[in-house]
Amino acid sequence: MADFSYIPQVLVSGLGIGCVYGLIGIGFCVIYNASGIVNFAQGAFVMLGGMITHGLLQRYGLPLLPAALIAIAVVALLGVVLERVVVRPLWDRKATMFTMILATLAAQIVIERLTLIVGGDQPKTLPVFTDLPPLQIGGVAVSFQLLWIVGASLLAVGALAAFFRLTRTGKAMRACAINREAAALQGIPVSRMLAAAFAISAGLGAMAGILITPTQYTAFNVGVPFAISGFIAAIVGGFGRPFGAFLGGLMLGLVQSLAILGFGAGWKTVAALSVLLLFLFIRPSGLLGAATK
Amino acid sequence: MSVVHALPDATSGTAPVLEARALAARYGHVEALHPIDLHVAEGELVAVLGPNGAGKSTLLRAILGLVSNSGTVSLRGTPLPRQNPVAVASRGVVLVPEGRGIFGPMSVAENLELGAYRLRDRAEFARRRERVMTLFPRLKERLTQVAGSMSGGEQQMLAIGRALMAGPQVLLLDEPSLGLAPRVTEEILATLGTLNGEGLSIILVEQKAPLALELANRAYLLSVGRIVATLDPREITSYDELAQHYFA
């Protein structure tokens, strides 16, 4: 049986992974709000964030921070490419939800396999951002990487909130989420807003991937599990609610960590999917209630 | 060299602001609007009347390119892009859709701001906003309120105000009276009359024909996707006569 004195420690690390799930979940919501599309290539962005940063460090010897920022920018751009090449042509033809899901899933597989060909099948990792021994806070070890994850995630969430609340483009994106047709009737370029949504989601995904890689590893095939967790976070939070998704991610991270402590690592996925089922049965509209379309 | 000028418009002597030629619309394989010709002259208020399901909303949606359409729509002689509502709206053809389409969870001020999404000129923005506040003083008291929490009439005022923020060349309205109390309807239609009096060209789709005919310079009567009559409101003396058109 598990030793319950570990619980605070486990909760602290659950917070870290929870932030990462939350960022990925926000990505799902931002695209869904702009278009009604559930983007199943979200995991590819997460994987590419870690892989590209690793490539920039290894091959070009860049310092970590610039490498991470470049990777985020490149992945955000890839998000726009995905929107232009895969999503927009289908969207213009008024493709059904199923077509969209299959198309983005196909894109996920293509990106995954291309990464395998280019980067090989060996797992890679990144150095921790701050190489110091963990802080001891009331008997709980808090690693600097955890501080990075939580700090950067909160910063990203805050910046996103400000963007949606204060900027012209952010407000226009919210308008598209509320009523796309009415937004178009005001001359708001709805398809450009969709591209912006893909850029934001991809950037957040890449950021999540970069933040978590030093505590684990990255490889061509890490995307899908992360995407599934992010998707669950989005549903738990109330689909289409970016900040709900972040809370959902935190909750999922904590539950997973407790499950690992209580029952062993093999139960991690069981815990995640149980949370999903529980919410679908008891509160299908999520923590904050699904966004009304 | 000889230049052939466009024929002047019969009703006002100037080229039409908006002109549709052989405009048709379909939903899938169903032709909802058979090819029609329609125009709005500068400063004219044109009513589009007809029973439920006559194709009135479809006509407006076809002008904007919200449904798959054929034929041409021109703004002051320049053809508008097809199937591209964003581009059509950006040229100043602004539709207040059926059901208003306001951004409910956002504030009144934000809704108005988004109406002027294309406008970069701050002074012009302030002018337009001031104008909307004068037309609809009730909106001024509610700028910070969440738009969806207002009454139906106030939401309709906001929808029209938001459309005015876009600086329309021609304003299209789809049943602005839908679901509103008679007094509010009269207030809103009176405001449309004021706007039209200042020279704004308007196409008004209305189920309540008598109210629309009071304002209109001209009226098209639609039935089963075709224009069955063009009416001069001054010649309609009794509603029995109008009813005959409806059931002809």
Query: Is A65 contained in some domain?
Result: yes
Q: What is the mean pLDDT of residues A34-57?
A: 93
DSSP letters along chain A, please? Answer: ---GGGHHHHHHHHHHHHHHHHHHHHHHHHHHHHHS---TTHHHHHHHHHHHHHHHHHHH---HHHHHHHHHHHHHHHHHHHIIIIIHHHHHTT--HHHHHHHHHHHHHHHHHHHHHHH-SS-B----SS-SPPEEETTEEE-HHHHHHHHHHHHHHHHHHHHHHHSHHHHHHHHHHH-HHHHHHTT--HHHHHHHHHHHHHHHHHHHHHHHGGGS-B-TT-HHHHHHHHHHHHHHH-TT-HHHHHHHHHHHHHHHHHHHHHH-GGGHHHHHHHHHHHHHHH-TT-SS-PPP-
**Residue A263 in domain:** no
Confidence bin at B230 (pLDDT 50/70/90):
confident
Average pLDDT score, chain A: 91
Mean pLDDT, residues A103-119 taken together:
95
Using a CB–CB cutoff of 8 Å, tell me whether B117 touches chain A. Answer: yes
Parallel, antiparallel or unpaired: strands A140-142 and B93-96: unpaired
Contact call for A185 and B94, based on CB within 8 A: yes
Burial class (CB in 10 A: 0-12, 13-18, 19+), A118: exposed
pLDDT at A93: 85
pLDDT value, residue B13: 52
Band (pLDDT 50/70/90 cuts) for residue B159 is very high
Q: Does residue A202 form part of some domain?
A: yes
Looking at residue B2, what is its pLDDT?
A: 40
| A54: in domain | yes
pLDDT score recorded for residue A2: 54
Residue B12 pLDDT class (50, 70, 90 cuts): very low
Q: What is the ipTM, given to two decimal places?
A: 0.89
- Whether the pLDDT of residue B232 is over 70: the answer is yes
pLDDT digits (tens, 9 = 90+) for B13-67: 567 999 999 999 988 888 889 999 999 999 999 999 988 888 999 999 999 999 9
Band of pLDDT at residue B237, cut at 50, 70 and 90: low
Q: Which of A184-198, A255-269, B68-82 has the lowest mean pLDDT?
A: A255-269
Q: CA-to-CA distance for A90 and A101, rounded, in angstroms?
A: 11
Chain B residues lying within 8 Å of A183, measured CB to CB: 103, 114
Whole-number mean pLDDT of chain B? 89
Chain B residues with beta carbon closer than 8 angstroms to that of A168: 113, 117
How many domains is chain A built from? 1
Predicted local distance difference test score (pLDDT) of residue A210: 97
Q: What is the arithmetic mean of pLDDT over A80-99?
A: 91
Contacts A188 to B, Cβ<8 Å: 86, 114, 117
Say whether B166 and A179 touch across the interface (CB within 8 A): no
Instruction: Report yes or no on A278 lying in a domain.
Output: no
The per-residue pLDDT for range B113-140, each reduced to its tens digit, is 999 999 999 999 999 999 999 999 999 9
Alpha helical stretches, state H, chain B: 56-64, 85-90, 108-115, 122-135, 137-141, 152-165, 182-197, 209-215, 239-247
Which comes out higher in pLDDT, residue A185 or B234? A185
Contact (CB<8Å) A174/B115: no
- How many other C-beta atoms lie within 10 A of the C-beta of residue B109? 15
Considering only alpha carbons, which residue of chain A is nearest residue B111?
Answer: A175
Looking at CA atoms only, how far is residue B113 from chain A in angstroms? 9
Q: Is A166 near chain B, with CB under 8 Å?
A: no
Could you tell me if A168 lies within 8 Å of chain B, comparing CB atoms?
A: yes
| Strands B218-223 vs B226-231: parallel, antiparallel or unpaired | antiparallel
Residue B1's pLDDT band (cuts 50, 70, 90): very low
Domains along chain B?
20-92+172-248 (3.40.50.300), 102-167 (no CATH)
Rounded Cα–Cα distance for residues A203 and A196 (Å): 10
Q: Which range, of A162-176, A264-278, B57-71, B100-114, averages the lowest pLDDT?
A: A264-278
Residue A204: give the domain boundaries.
Answer: 22-223
Is the Cβ–Cβ distance between A202 and A71 less than 8 Å?
Answer: no
> What tens digit of pLDDT does each residue of A184-198 get?
999 999 999 999 999
| Subunit contact B114:A186, Cβ cutoff 8 A | yes
Contacts of B227-233 with C-beta under 8 Å, sequence gap 24+, read B227/B36, B227/B37, B227/B38, B231/B49, B233/B47
* A187 touching chain B per CB within 8 A: yes
Tell whether A195 is covered by a domain.
Answer: yes
Residues in chain B: 248
What average pLDDT score do residues B218-224 get? 91
Kindly determine whether residue B166 and residue A186, on different chains, have CB atoms separated by under 8 Å: yes
CA distance B211 to A64: 70
Closest to B105 (Cβ–Cβ): which among A178, A184, A191?
A178
Q: Can you tell me the mean pLDDT for B213-230?
A: 90
pLDDT on residue B7:
42
Report pLDDT digits (tens) over A225-244: 999 999 999 999 988 888 99
In a domain, A74, yes or no: yes
A135 touches chain B (CB under 8 A): no
Read off the pLDDT band of A291 (50, 70, 90).
low
Of A171, A189, A190, the CB nearest to B114: A171
Q: What is residue A34's predicted lDDT score, i.e. its pLDDT?
A: 85
